[in-house]
Structure 1
């Protein structure tokens, strides 16, 4: 690190997500922390004006606030998350600002959340709960028919499921192991648009047709936008459930809602949305129009766990400490 400065102003913009740990800086470095629970885009410029090190999660850090006239002292952007799409990496590179992330910290929590969403969708837990809470059980005498799929059959058990995993990173591998332990057959997807797949993988279109459970756990990229839309939903088995713990915009939400209403698939469970926070004003999957559907919506919390926070803290310390001591953070992105 080409600087003689040893005292650093650390600005944390979003401790609401992950509390800032006590940093362990190598001697002779010291720091002062300016911590904000939440920061909105129009507040970023003012809050980072004196920052040497910026800690953030999802608030946009764009070219305008990265201009030297706005953040003249900024030398490092430490993202507490895997994704860094909120940061203008080119603007950082142009100024020599180091950008780091904290990958693989939430993989166990996300994998477990994905399995929880599977059971909730396959067993229609949210829909069943709503029917009980609204007094429908004594009115109707029995409610098990609401667990049936569009094929009219009761829900499958794990040993009769074929899980198709789209996105074979750390989360996908953990879910694969858990699913096999439950007795499921597991398919790993090849790339969409290719008629063939590498050894050990199943062509995407084949996986969509043959799986009774489809799990999405892949990054968002230009190639993965609307990966699941009308054509894919139409080719799924009528008793298929779709689980999404990836990113918003990978599933066409309007097409998904239509598929649920038309009983083309058995259920959908998601932790991510095209626009977040999701509400009835900005998302078709939220609000009264979804009543009676086997739809589970959690508020982008799959990552949340004590284990995740501990790993975030270790990775953040390693990034800042490594940068100050050797110029090489542990998880450098730019």
Structure 2
């Protein structure tokens, strides 16, 4: 009888759910779970791990110490699109493929980006707070210059599965859409512009980029200053692409007319952070992709890749350039 593959699940999922997910594999897998959600719990279970399902909360980072503690590690699957909690380059050098769930939550995140832009354009959250407080800020609302979405030029930074779906939704409402990406997309419906040119013509700027060494701090104060006055920022990518303090400064200066943020440099956002007190900011707890359909898609993608790895088939969505055929170490 073949030795079962040892699958370590780091995400805070119910054990019975995980067991049910891989029940069809029977004795082909042995499931491992950290007994405590801290470094000691992680290090105690790593020596036996061959396949790791990462942690979508970001609590457990997969870095050099993990590789040293897991000599048999052969594959890492993130239950998310982002891989910023995984040292993908280090694992690439070790010949260990890393896969994400690209596209699984694209529609959910794109709908959040569009909905957030509508909230900012029409000041919906601000008006809701005023009415709930006992007021009737009708004239004040008109004085804030509500905008119709089709009149807004939309710029999308990052044109992967989320960026392209976001472009399609804005285009359906009549907004002219441009994009910048690290490589041009010949199939794109939106117009390609160099980054600085894109910023100069974006009334609504949507960030969908992952966080990598190349994208960290990509939008600094100089670049945000290129935006038209009172531009709106929607970030569904990663917080580190634009620093939270840079966003605050742009809001205070009036360069930004509002921001909708689902992601932050530090999560959870610190209780005393100035973003929490601004009425021109819509805050969300990194939940843009948190729809039932998106979660189903992510779980299915994780399951399919673990099944592929165990049964000797190539895994999908490898992000670090390693051969997708998982081999025991």
Q: TM-score range by the shorter chain?
A: 0.7 to 0.9
Q: What stretches of structure 2 of length at least 5 have no aligned partner?
A: 184-189, 323-329
Shift of 1:144: 4.0
| Structure 2 residue aligned with 1:54 | 52
**Cα separation, 1, equivalents of 2:246 and 2:166:** 26
Shift of 1:294: 0.9
**Cα separation, 1, equivalents of 2:37 and 2:24:** 25
Residue of 192, 195, 208 corresponding to 2:199: 208
Q: 1:144 to 1:10 in 2, by over 3 A?
A: farther
Per-residue CA deviations over 1:64-87 (Å, capped at 9, x if unaligned) read: 1221xx334433322211222322
Structure 1, 253-262 or 29-38: larger mean CA deviation = 29-38
Per-residue CA deviations over 1:19-44 (Å, capped at 9, x if unaligned) read: 635126668x5233344698334431
Given the alignment of the two structures, is residue 142 of structure 1 paired with residue 137 of structure 2, yes or no? Answer: yes
Given the alignment of the two structures, is residue 43 of structure 1 paired with residue 41 of structure 2, yes or no? Answer: yes
**Cα separation, 1, equivalents of 2:174 and 2:317:** 36
Given the alignment of the two structures, is residue 217 of structure 1 paired with residue 194 of structure 2, yes or no? Answer: no
| Structure 1 residue aligned with 2:311 | 325
| Structure 2 residue aligned with 1:22 | 21
Shift of 1:234: 2.8
| Structure 1 residue aligned with 2:275 | 285
Per-residue CA deviations over 1:180-200 (Å, capped at 9, x if unaligned) read: 1111111223669xxxxxx94
Q: 1:103 to 1:295 in 2, by over 3 A?
A: same
* Match runs of 1:291-302 below 5 Å: 291=278, 293-302=279-288
- In angstroms, what is the RMSD of aligned CA positions? 2.9
Given the alignment of the two structures, is residue 310 of structure 1 paired with residue 292 of structure 2, yes or no? Answer: no
**Cα separation, 1, equivalents of 2:217 and 2:251:** 17
Given the alignment of the two structures, is residue 10 of structure 1 paired with residue 1 of structure 2, yes or no? Answer: no
Q: 1:17 to 1:85 in 2, by over 3 A?
A: farther
Shift of 1:48: 2.7
Shift of 1:5: 4.2
Name the larger-Rg structure: 1
Shift of 1:17: 9.9
Q: 1:80 to 1:230 in 2, by over 3 A?
A: same
| Structure 2 residue aligned with 1:247 | 238
| Structure 2 residue aligned with 1:195 | none
Q: What stretches of structure 1 of length at least 5 have no aligned partner?
A: 193-198
* Match runs of 1:122-141 below 5 Å: 122-135=121-134, 137=135
Q: TM-score, normalised by structure 2?
A: 0.82
Counting helix residues as a fraction of each chain, which structure ranks higher? 2
Q: Is the 8 A contact 2:157 2:205 kept in 1?
A: yes
Q: Is the 8 A contact 2:154 2:177 kept in 1?
A: yes
Q: Is the 8 A contact 1:77 1:99 kept in 2?
A: yes
Q: 1:184 to 1:96 in 2, by over 3 A?
A: closer
Q: TM-score, normalised by structure 1?
A: 0.81
Q: 1:315 to 1:230 in 2, by over 3 A?
A: same
Q: 1:160 to 1:92 in 2, by over 3 A?
A: closer
Q: How many residues matched?
A: 309
**Cα separation, 2, equivalents of 1:251 and 1:239:** 17
Per-residue CA deviations over 1:146-165 (Å, capped at 9, x if unaligned) read: 4645xxxx211122111111
Q: 1:226 to 1:99 in 2, by over 3 A?
A: closer
